[in-house]
Amino acid sequence: MAGHFEPLPDGGAAVALDEVEISILRSLAVQLMELIGPGEESDETDDPLASIFNDGPSEPPADPVLARLFPDAYGGPDLVPDDDVRAAAAEFRRYTENDLRARKREDALALVRALDALSPGLDQGAVLRLKPDECRRWLGALNDLRLAIGTRLEVTDEEDGGELLRLPDTDPRKPMVMAYLWLGGLQETLVESLMG
């Protein structure tokens, strides 16, 4: 089980993680939440519909990672020269980005909470057991982490991962490459566990 998820009888999945892996996953998830930004300030009213009318941004984020996590609808302003399509994309972003940010924040927070709830064993590792609904949150968080790291590494397709793996150990990108590939393995085995 070390290093990969295995299915559980209840439809969930489990993975053995050592202390270093737990620390890395937690740190990456916290960094992702910091990048995504804080949630909306709670409104002093108890109106459950108030959040529906909160407008989000209408322009894509300047940070390439955020632009990858919150892509522009309809191909983006650089790809679509049509003003009507750009206006529709801005409108779409305005009404969807806040909810998307909230979901991504919640997924990363679910990952952190699950890791924080682990009790290390004698070898200072632990077995993480996820229920089916927790698995979906973890898949979202793992995907977002890979997108963020892949964007920073300028990975454009699957072959880039192999090329990056051949970087010398002295290359400052090497730890992030290893994290990117490791997260990919976790994500792949979690999907396989849920399908099996």
Which tens digits make up the pLDDT trace of 24-74?
A: 999 999 999 999 998 655 444 565 555 555 677 778 889 999 999 998 887
Round the CA-based radius of gyration of the chain to a whole number and report it: 19
Q: What average pLDDT score do residues 109-120 get?
A: 92
Side-chain-side CA neighbours of 90 within 13 Å: the count stands at 10
Which pLDDT score is estimated for 152? 94
Whole-number pLDDT of residue 120: 67
- pLDDT at position 86, please? 79
Q: What is the pLDDT of residues 140-192, one digit of tens each?
A: 999 999 999 999 999 877 655 567 778 899 999 999 999 999 999 999 999 99
pLDDT at 42: 44
Averaging pLDDT over each range in 78-82, 122-126, 133-137, 153-157, which range is the top one?
133-137
Burial (CB count within 10 angstroms: exposed 0-12, middle 13-18, buried 19+), residue 109: middle
Looking at per-residue confidence, does 23 or 120 come out higher? 23
Residue type, position 138, single letter: W
Residue-wise burial string across 46-83, b where 16 or more C-beta atoms lie within 10 A, e elsewhere: eeeeeeeeeebeeebbeeebbeebbbbebeebeebeee
CB 37 within 8 A of CB 43: no
Altogether, the residues listed in the chain come to a count of: 196
